[in-house]
Amino acid sequence: MAETFESQSSYQQLQAINDALSSGMYVHVRKMLHHMPAPDVAFMLESTPAKTRAVLWQLIDPEFHGDVLEELSEDVRNGIIRQMMPEKLAGALEDMDTDDLAELLRGLPDAIFQQVLQSMDEQDRVRAEQALSFGEGTAGFIMNTDTITLRPEVTVDVILRYLRLKGEIPEDTDAFYVVNRHDKLIGIVPVIRLLTATSDMTVEELMDEDAETIPVDMPEGEVAKLFERYNWISAPVVDAEDHLLGRITIDDVVDIIREEAEHSMMSMAGLDDEEDTFAPVMKSTGRRSIWLGVNLVTALLAAMVSDMFEETLSQLAVLAILNTIVPSMGGVAGNQTLTLVIRGMALGHVSPSNRRWLISKELAVGALNGIIWAVLIAGVVALWKQDLALGGIIAFAMMINMLAAGLSGATLPLLMKKMKIDPALAGSVILTTITDVVGIFAFLGTATLLLMP
């Protein structure tokens, strides 16, 4: 984990900017920012507390506002654009890629959105409205429209002359798309193939006819899986009649992959995916309190189960002392299973044909773990409290709870997906409630049956 040259220099830049800001050397900061590439400026903004961020933003040359906005995460970007004048914002959006433009406009409150749209020039407005017409999170929403199309009968020689005349090819172009006279996609020609072809060959001879296409309404998660599985750099997007609409490039897909993978981790801890590390205190407190509220209800539920055994607890204080061990172990074991199944589902590995196998497997793991830890805890408790019966009781409860953990860890995400609830968001809370209630009930219940007169 050694810090390399690169991140060292990023941190040094950040430190230098912070130092200059706190000594009020705004002109100096402005100059430093001016010499940085847009992604680096975005990095500085992301790594800065929200208040200072507003000051920094003012010091960036307005000409680069659009480039920097493109690179920011949603939460940070929304914070900034809500404070910008609509006309200025419209100006910043001028040269933005279609996909970034659509995403950004969606983050705006309705009133500002209308103002920004009206401040745009005709061409940009049409482009924005078109991109917004596709559903959020679909292929249409993340595609770009800067494709170069060829006709099948044209020769390599003609194409090369045309390209030299044009003088510029969109960034990241790795293929040209071949369309017929009805604008339907009939093939693709990889850029490198033009370089090895002889000048009299036609596009028809060069093109791949069975190239894969992406339907415009495919969810972005599916798009990402395709790119990942087949190692694509770009892919054409088509409508239901195979008309070419645009292309999706790997750089946008990388963001989706990162977001999807982070989504599970953040959700399982009860955080918003886009939560900004440097958001103001009030905003963070508000966001996190929902989850804490849910957990309070869960904790009270567990307390109520204990409450049912008040009589037992008042006579045997030792039970109160050991009462947290079984629920705790069940929670950890259940969360292991839950996490594994959620990841398996995200990767598409869990399917109807192997579901049953997976549930049996996790039950078997639960049973085995149950035996191991039941024996161990029985020994520890029997030695510590000099009470064999107590050891037996906690071992039995452990066994029951480990099975409950394996079963609910494996079935909960599958059930929740069927009910269209995000398992990463709610799975962990429901699971812990189950393992708490089952654990306490099994332990105190058995103890009451066996130890109470």
**Per CB under 8 A, which of residues 254..273 are in contact with its own copies?**
254-255, 257-258, 261-262, 264-266, 268-271
The size of the interface with its own copies (CB under 8 A), counted in residues, is: 133
**Degrees to nearest 5, angle at CA 206 with 204 and 207:** 70
Tell me if 278 contacts its own copies by CB under 8 A.
yes
- d(CA 239, CA 234) in angstroms, rounded, equals 17
Binding its own copies (rule: CB under 8 A), the pick from 122, 357, 386, 453 is 357
Give φ, ψ of 106 to 5 degrees.
-65, -25
Tell me if 203 contacts its own copies by CB under 8 A.
no
3-state secondary structure of 190: strand
Tell me if 64 contacts its own copies by CB under 8 A.
no
Looking at the Cβ atoms of 86 and 433, the one nearer to its own copies is 433
Burial of 410 (0-12, 13-18, 19+ CB in 10 A): buried
Q: Nearest-CA neighbor of 444 among 325, 327, 319?
A: 319
Looking at the Cβ atoms of 112 and 163, the one nearer to its own copies is 163
Tell me if 136 contacts its own copies by CB under 8 A.
no
- Closest distance to its own copies from the beta carbon of 159 (Å): 8
Give φ, ψ of 155 to 5 degrees.
-95, 160
- Closest distance to its own copies from the beta carbon of 316 (Å): 8
Q: Which stretch binds its own copies (CB under 8 A): 25-33, 44-52, 102-110, 240-248?
A: 44-52
DSSP 257: H
Q: Nearest-CA neighbor of 74 among 272, 273, 256, 274?
A: 274
Q: Are 221 and 260 in contact (CB under 8 A)?
A: yes
Looking at the Cβ atoms of 80 and 108, the one nearer to its own copies is 80
Tell me if 154 contacts its own copies by CB under 8 A.
no
Q: Are 338 and 424 in contact (CB under 8 A)?
A: no
Tell me if 207 contacts its own copies by CB under 8 A.
no
- d(CA 89, CA 93) in angstroms, rounded, equals 6
Tell me if 435 contacts its own copies by CB under 8 A.
no
3-state secondary structure of 228: helix
For residue 235, the cross-strand partners are: 248
HSE, CB side, 13 Å, CA atoms: give it for residue 344.
19
Looking at the Cβ atoms of 18 and 130, the one nearer to its own copies is 18
Tell me if 77 contacts its own copies by CB under 8 A.
no
Tell me if 341 contacts its own copies by CB under 8 A.
yes
Tell me if 382 contacts its own copies by CB under 8 A.
no
Which whole-number Å values give the CA distances from 94 to 88, 89, 90, in the listed order? 10, 9, 7
Reading the block at residue 16, the tokens are 């230098």
- d(CA 326, CA 2) in angstroms, rounded, equals 40
Tell me if 446 contacts its own copies by CB under 8 A.
no
Within residues 414-433, the interface with its own copies by CB under 8 A covers 417, 420
Tell me if 369 contacts its own copies by CB under 8 A.
yes
Amino acid found at 9: S
Binding its own copies (rule: CB under 8 A), the pick from 373, 396, 441, 443 is 373
Looking at the Cβ atoms of 223 and 245, the one nearer to its own copies is 223
Binding its own copies (rule: CB under 8 A), the pick from 95, 129, 183, 310 is 310
Q: Which stretch binds its own copies (CB under 8 A): 60-68, 126-134, 181-189, 305-313?
A: 305-313
Within residues 94-133, the interface with its own copies by CB under 8 A covers none
Q: Nearest-CA neighbor of 257 among 278, 279, 281, 231?
A: 231
Q: Which stretch binds its own copies (CB under 8 A): 28-36, 127-135, 178-186, 211-219?
A: 211-219
Q: Which stretch binds its own copies (CB under 8 A): 57-65, 107-115, 237-245, 363-371?
A: 363-371
Tell me if 135 contacts its own copies by CB under 8 A.
no
